[in-house]
Amino acid sequence: MANVAVVGAQWGDEGKGKIVDWLAERADMVVRFQGGHNAGHTLVVGGNVYKLSLLPSGIVRGTPSVVGNGVVLDPWALKAEIERLREQGVSVTPDLLMIAETCALILPFHRDLDGLREDASGAGKIGTTRRGIGPAYEDKVGRRAIRVCDLAHLDQLEPQLDRLTAHHDALRAGFGEPAIDRAALVAELREIAGFVLPYAQPVWRVLADARARGKRILFEGAQGVLLDIDHGTYPFVTSSNTIAGTAAGGSGMGPGAVGFVLGIAKAYTTRVGSGPFPTELEDATGQRLGERGHEFGTVTGRKRRCGWFDSVLVRQAAAVSGITGIALTKLDVLDGFDEIRICTGYQLRGETLDYFPAHAADQMAVEPMYETIPGWSESTAGARSWAELPAQAIKYIRRIEELIQCPVTLVSTSPERDDTILVRDPFAD
């Protein structure tokens, strides 16, 4: 039985939460391996809606869940999310949730800096969630982060605080903000430490033991490949590597542990925030996609930009992330369109491209080349087998497979977890 890594194959918001929840029933453990509480995973279980930002999606099903070392952790956001789930009847105990001792913490001044920078950026705004993710990763790489394990040694925190304040106080002064109140920060950390530390473990050992016993591990990515710090639409990206290869480093397991890579892609394309978007539709069709797909960000509440499926981007995402198969979501949103268009290439200053260029100016300048295919009038909503899909919807899926050079292994036809067509079981490989 293979382990499975789930990654977004577009700009995030592809419906990973539902797919991970669906797969979690078949998994023995679920692992978050990058990002922070800027993820937005919505699960619909038995008519109840659960919105997760930091916790692995398997937590709702009672599947043992791990927050890996590649995640940056806001301890106060963690507490709020656990308490919110408790109000919905989900008890998150240390037996169910394990957090890597080496996770870097997101602290209040990281959130401050995130917002100050964004407000000062003018036309250069990235579209950050203002939750301190980027600044926390900067401190991690700068070797000045406070980590989960430090919460058990707050009396020995002075060297880290010296490094942190030397860096951040200068930045804050540039924005006209006061220096970090070290005593207040330590007091806040002491107050939250008792909540966080019971969940802290050397999770690499837990995962190594699970693998040795043949347990099925599900690695849950956040955001999408097109937001990867190296492979995405830089600088309009997140602050971590979102590709499947990060599952190894961000969990403490070797690359051989990753197994099947399932990429999640909508049957059309959406994006939240700034940045290039070749197939964006700023017309009635784009409005229709947004309304039918309920396209509002789980974390930010921002309206998502909508456009036709871009096979060039998904093919590129599949290549750089080693995607084995695609889970195609929200097929039902396309019901009733007379015609559907698929981007098959780009024109850039008279040149035809079959890939997305690296430079932001070129990314903004490309013009999509479309192939138009007939739509379908029948409903696909709630379909659970190929036999329930209109013939033209199946043709659309097959054409996508040809263009992205990757098979479709799952099809999602509504937010309900069981409204899923399984073509190939990722865990069976």
pLDDT of residue 310: 98
pLDDT of residue 416: 81
More confident: 392 or 127: 392
Chain segment 360-389, per-residue pLDDT in tens? 999 999 999 999 999 999 999 999 999 999
Confidence class for position 1, pLDDT limits 50, 70, 90 = low
410 contacts 421 by C-beta, under 8 angstroms:
yes
More confident: 343 or 254: 343
Chain segment 323-353, per-residue pLDDT in tens? 999 999 999 999 999 999 999 999 999 999 9
pLDDT of residue 268: 97
Rounded mean pLDDT, 65-74? 97
pLDDT of residue 86: 94
Residues noted as catalytic: 13, 41
- Three-class SS state of 55: coil
pLDDT of residue 262: 97
More confident: 363 or 122: 363
pLDDT of residue 274: 85
pLDDT of residue 46: 72
Q: Pick the closest to residue 72 from 24, 150, 132, 117 (CA basis).
A: 132
Q: Pick the closest to residue 400 from 314, 335, 316 (CA basis).
A: 314
Is the pLDDT at 15 greater than 90? The verdict is no
- Provide, rounded to the nearest whole percent, the portion of the chain with pLDDT above 90: 79
pLDDT of residue 121: 74
Residue 55 dihedral angles phi and psi, to the nearest 5°: -75, 145
29 contacts 67 by C-beta, under 8 angstroms:
no
Rounded mean pLDDT, 385-411? 96
In which residue are the tokens 């329930």 written? 388
Six token digits for residue 129? 């969630």
Confidence class for position 192, pLDDT limits 50, 70, 90 = very high
Confidence class for position 42, pLDDT limits 50, 70, 90 = confident
Sequence-separated (6 or more) residues with CB below 8 Å from residue 332: 379, 380, 381, 382, 383, 413, 414
Q: What is the DSSP letter of 180?
A: P
pLDDT of residue 303: 85
pLDDT of residue 185: 97
- Three-class SS state of 59: helix
Q: How much is the mean pLDDT over the chain? A: 93
More confident: 47 or 7: 7
300 contacts 37 by C-beta, under 8 angstroms:
no
Six token digits for residue 423? 């073509």
Chain segment 196-229, per-residue pLDDT in tens? 999 999 999 999 999 999 999 999 998 999 999 9
Chain segment 83-97, per-residue pLDDT in tens? 999 999 999 999 999
pLDDT of residue 300: 61
Is the pLDDT at 261 greater than 80? The verdict is yes
Choose the weakest-confidence range: 166-180, 292-306, 311-325, 406-420.
292-306
Q: Pick the closest to residue 224 from 398, 3, 17 (CA basis).
A: 17
Is the pLDDT at 118 greater than 70? The verdict is yes
Chain segment 277-312, per-residue pLDDT in tens? 999 999 999 999 999 998 876 556 678 999 999 999
pLDDT of residue 299: 58
